[in-house]
Structure formats: C-alpha cells, structure tokens
Amino acid sequence: MFTGIIEELGTVRETGARLTIECRSVLSDATEGCSISVNGVCLTALDLQPDSFSADLAPETLSRSNLGALLVGSRVNLERPLLPSSRLSGHFVQGHVDGKAKILGLDFLGDDNWWLRIRLPENLERYFVEKGSIAIDGISLTIAAISGPDVSIAIIPHTYQATALQFHKPGDLVNIEVDVIAKHVEKLLSARVPRP
C-alpha cells in the first residue's frame, strides 16, 4: 500500500523483463523482496545495491503499464510502501495499475503551475469523478475537470518539480490506477438484487 506521495526520482539503468533503477533514498531501509512503487507499479525489489535495485516484470505488468516503454535514462517516480504509523498525505494507492492513459497536454499556467490533460481508456472512465482521486504514474492527484474520456488535473509547482511529470510530453503514456473504493462500490452495487 502506498500514498501517491513521490519520494524520489530514479533513473532507469537497464530495461527489459528485468528493470534496474538507480536511486538512493528509497533504498535506505529496503530489504531483499520488499515493495517499491515505480511509476505507480508495485514491484518486488531484488539485487539491492547502495545505488540501485532491480525488479522482474511479468508479462501482465508489461501489458498494463508503461514500464515496457522505458528507455535507459528515463526518469521514474519512486515510493516506499506506507507504514501503519505514517500519515496518509495522498490517498490509498495499491500499486496495481489498471491501464494506461495518453497525455493530451501539459500546459504552463504561470507561477510554475501546470494543467495536465489525459485521455482515459474507455473501460476506466466510469470510475472517475470531478474532485476525486486518481493515481497517475503513482502520483496521488485530484481531478479538476472531466469531459467525456478527458480528465484534467492542476499540477502545483512541488508536484511538477518532484516527479517525472516534468519529463513528459503530449502523446506519452502514463499509468493509471483507479481509486480502489470506486471498484468496491461498483461491485457491491452490481451484486444488488432489484426489488419488486
């Protein structure tokens, strides 16, 4: 379980079915087999070094996320799992990516604020509401506006500077995770038997 508050920007050292990420902060208390969120994908950290870790990527992970499109030198968002005693500054993010969305625009608003526009996959549209939570590449964000499959988010200076959003451009794919509460509500409501 994660919060969507990015702790560090890592750099991809090796790509493929085994991904290697250069980083330091998220490794400070890491142990072999622990979880680390990479662009919002919960991965098992292996081959821990003082300045890097590796993770194996299953075919499911490669098909649902943008991790298979990473290149050597790509910057990625990193977060350690939530401790039960920690503050929950973002929202509950599981690291279970539901799909990919295309960036339509990342427009400068002034004062280092940005307006991010993405197009959701059709099968995920129903889960999002204005002022609701969304995890984009593992970042906990609040939806500012919705127009059909297009979702807009205001990006504050800190979020822009502390995450890999600053390296994205229109056309790039980002990982999307639906708020798990929305999925549970949908399942509960669909199981209701209509009353006569």
Catalytic residues, by residue number, are 2, 35, 42, 44, 58, 96, 142
Three-state DSSP string of the chain:
CECCCCCEEEEEEECCCEEEEECCHHHCCCCCCCEEEECCEEEECEEEECCEEEEECCHHHHHHCCHHHCCCCCEEEEECCCCCCCCCCCCCECCCCCEEEEEEEEEEEECCEEEEEEECCHHHHHHCCCCCEEEECCEEEECCEEECCEEEEEECHHHHHHCHHHHCCCCCEEEEECCHHHHHHHHHHHCCCCCC
Residue 114 pairs with which residues in a beta bridge?
108, 155
Asked if residue 48 lies in contact with residue 30, where contact means CB atoms within 8 angstroms, the answer is yes
Q: How many residues are given for the chain?
A: 196
